[in-house]
Amino acid sequence: MKRTIQVRISKGERQFVAECLDLPVVTQAETLDELAVNIREAIGLHLEGEDLAAMGIAANPTILATMELEAVA
């Protein structure tokens, strides 16, 4: 079972965007702190009432975020 839910973070024109690689969850926020709160809440809401074992996810999984940075010229 997966113990980690992977999230990719990117910077849009105005906000940061977080997209789960393992679940159909996407959220955004103006700051990284807000984004961390939003992604935890969005994942929690998505998994609420679900049979995690049937989804292949361990109870209380870790959220691992990777941030894509723009290339420096």
Whether residue 73 is contained in a domain is answered as no
**Whole-model pTM?**
0.87
pLDDT at 30: 96
Rounded Cα distance, 27 and 70, in Å:
20
Residue 27 belongs to what domain range?
A: 2-67
pLDDT above 90 (res 44): yes
- Residue 20, pLDDT score: 97
**Any domain includes 24:** yes
Assign residue 20 the CATH number of its domain: 3.30.160
What's the CA gap between 31 and 50, in Å, rounded? 29
Indicate whether 72 belongs to any domain.
Answer: no
The per-residue pLDDT for range 60-70, each reduced to its tens digit, is 899 999 998 87
Mean pLDDT of the 45-57 span: 93
| Cα–Cα distance, 10 to 72 (Å, whole number) | 15
Q: Using an 8 Å Cβ cutoff, are 65 and 4 in contact? A: no
Q: What is the mean pLDDT of the chain?
A: 93
